[in-house]
Amino acid sequence: MALTEVEAKTLGALCASEPVDALTVRQIRLRTGLGERSIRHALSRLARTGLVLSTRQWPTKWRSTDRGRLAVKKSLYREFIAEATPDTASGDDMYSAVSHYRIAMTRPLTGLELRLMLARHATCNAGHGHTSDDCSALTQLLDLREFNAHPLP
């Protein structure tokens, strides 16, 4: 089955996270930059073909199946794993979900998003490089946390 670009990006966003992680439509939208309606349509088609599964809880969370992970790892769709995670820079080993490059911000982060992103970098050392020993993303997130904790008068 050939995937559309929206389906490939949606599946790529789900495959970029850990196999047990499940994402809401909102989280997928933030990772891909796609519209909510497009994502919902893609998820329903991917679910019918057995590439993704949804949870029964609210809000509904989605995760890729083993079959979905295999499909997106084909050389044809591999590029969409990188596009699905804006904080992943090309050249990272196997498009890891945790990149140490500065994070492109299109809007302010909520407190929860900031805490979650800080948790992803819990084993990193702050710095200005692109490795876990010298992580510029952690430096950026720590600066944001300090700014949010002490707003200007």
Q: What are the structural domain ranges in the chain?
A: 5-89, 98-153
Domain 5-89 has CATH 1.10.10.10: yes
Give the tens place of pLDDT for each residue, 20-35.
Answer: 678 889 888 888 888 8
Question: What's the average model confidence in pLDDT over 26-47?
Answer: 89
CA–CA dist 99, 93 (Å, integer): 10
This prediction has a pTM of 0.51
Q: How many CB atoms lie within 10 A of CB 145?
A: 16
Taking 90 as the threshold, does the pLDDT of residue 41 lie above it? Answer: yes
Which pLDDT band, with edges at 50, 70 and 90, does 149 fall under? low
Task: Write down the number of H helices and E strands in the chain.
Answer: 7, 4
pLDDT at position 71, please? 81
Question: What's the average model confidence in pLDDT over 76-89?
Answer: 52
